[in-house]
Chain A
Amino acid sequence: GQQVMQIPQYQHVQEGEDFTTYCNSSTTLSNIQWYKQRPGGHPVFLIQLVKSGEVKKQKRLTFQFGEAKKNSSLHITATQTTDVGTYFCADSNQAGTALIFGKGTTLSVSS
């Protein structure tokens, strides 16, 4: 596993605006997972992407895995105050067991 880079580090939006966070790797990823951590909480699993070019949707959240499996994105349509938190992408460690987390993107939403 290798460190995945996440951008932006922080994003503030008005409620109703869209939000996107990006995760990039210099090497090919076997898969990528996304987690959300609410303020004061612990990370909660959102999704795993495995296939090249894969797109998955969960209500207002859209997850994409790049064709080369070197990048991924999470897009939230029409943000709500409940979307506030830090979104992490995560790659497997060298043993392929545990996760290595990106630095995360912290989203704040004002109403």
Chain B
Amino acid sequence: SAVISQKPSRDICQRGTSLTIQCQVDSQVTMMFWYRQQPGQSLTLIATANQGSEATYESGFVIDKFPISRPNLTFSTLTVSNMSPEDSSIYLCSVVPSSSYEQYFGPGTRLTVT
């Protein structure tokens, strides 16, 4: 299993600013991902955070808007840049421990952009 914490848990931001979300895991994991979940909607995969190399982004998501860092096997950050109200969402990180196939999710960061 894996225990994941995220900071901040929620934030209200002004449009045009940027917010960096942190994800910390209690064990080393190879696979780490960032998802977005808009209110009442499903989860959308933003990117795979690769340790030591650039993140792999899904269609519709770009590095300039969502830069990701993965300095080691227990930590990652997602930055939401130049925010607009459309970025209001819950952002979740998730991991797959090496010995498992199930994904574990963090508690999420609820972002509101005004």
Q: Report yes or no: A95 in contact with B103, Cβ–Cβ below 8 A.
A: no
The one of B48, B105, B106, B108 that contacts A98, using a Cβ cutoff of 8 Å: B48
In this assembly, does A65 line the interface, its C-beta being within 8 Å of a C-beta of chain B?
no
A60 to chain B, nearest CB (A): 20
* Size class of the contact patch on chain B: 20 to 34
Given A88-B43, A104-B42, do A95 and B56 touch, yes or no (CB 8 Å)?
yes
B25 to chain A, nearest CB (A): 14
* Size class of the contact patch on chain A: 10 to 19
Stretch of A20-28, A40-48, A68-76 on the interface side: A40-48
B45 to chain A, nearest CB (A): 5
Q: Report yes or no: A48 in contact with B107, Cβ–Cβ below 8 A.
A: no
Q: Which residues of B contact A88 (CB under 8 A)?
A: 42-43
Task: Name A7-33 residues within 8 Å CB distance of B.
Answer: 33
In this assembly, does A102 line the interface, its C-beta being within 8 Å of a C-beta of chain B?
yes
Given A48-B101, A93-B58, do A42 and B45 touch, yes or no (CB 8 Å)?
no
Seen from chain B, the residues whose Cβ lies within 8 Å of a Cβ on chain A are 31, 33, 41-45, 48, 56, 58, 92, 96, 101-108
